[in-house]
């Protein structure tokens, strides 16, 4: 999968990108702002958006999820310590991966998201992942 990672914390963004590349995903970004993410998505449309709620500059991860969903049909998985904000925007996301999370939980969460998008029930759902929809 081509995954766009949007995270305002550089170390978290780097680790997320490495964990995803390790299991064979093409990682776009990481991006820290909504503007950077929109540019990256326009250049190479992602199969999945992984975004934090708080971003650098104007715009939020929830706004980004709405824009990419409407423009390109990109599904989203939030990565956030703000589950209430994620839940209020459940209509544009598969779920929320609660921070802090491990690299393994991130990898399992992306596998679970892929299963949901394919209409399958995920074989493994890490305890940090809250799914808003399930097959």
pLDDT the model gives residue 134: 61
* The token pair that represents 75 in the structure block: 């599904």
From CA 23, how far away is CA 6, in angstroms rounded?
A: 18
Mean pLDDT of 42-58: 96
The whole-model pTM stands at 0.95
CA angle 8, 103, 77 (to 5 degrees): 55
Q: How much is the pLDDT for 17? A: 97
pLDDT at 35: 97
Which residue segment(s) compose the domain that 109 sits in?
Answer: 2-131
Contact between 44 and 28 (Cβ < 8 Å): yes
Evaluate if residue 94 carries a pLDDT over 70. Answer: yes
In the chain, the number of structural domains is 1
pLDDT surpasses 90 at 135: no
Task: For residues 110-135, give the mean pLDDT.
Answer: 92
- The pLDDT of residue 133 is 79
């Amino acid at each position: 999968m081509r995954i766009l990672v949007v995270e305002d914390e550089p170390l978290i963004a780097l680790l997320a990108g490495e964990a995803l590349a390790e299991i064979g995903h093409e990682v776009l970004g990481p991006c820290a702002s909504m503007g950077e993410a929109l540019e990256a998505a326009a250049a190479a449309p992602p199969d999945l958006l992984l975004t934090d709620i708080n971003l650098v500059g104007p715009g939020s991860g929830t706004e980004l999820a709405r824009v990419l969903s409407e423009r390109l049909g990109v599904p989203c998985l939030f990565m956030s310590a703000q589950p209430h904000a994620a839940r209020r925007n459940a209509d544009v996301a598969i779920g929320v991966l609660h921070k802090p999370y491990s690299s393994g939980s991130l990898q399992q969460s992306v596998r679970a998201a892929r299963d949901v998008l394919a209409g399958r029930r995920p074989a493994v759902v890490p305890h940090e992942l809250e799914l808003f929809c399930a097959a």
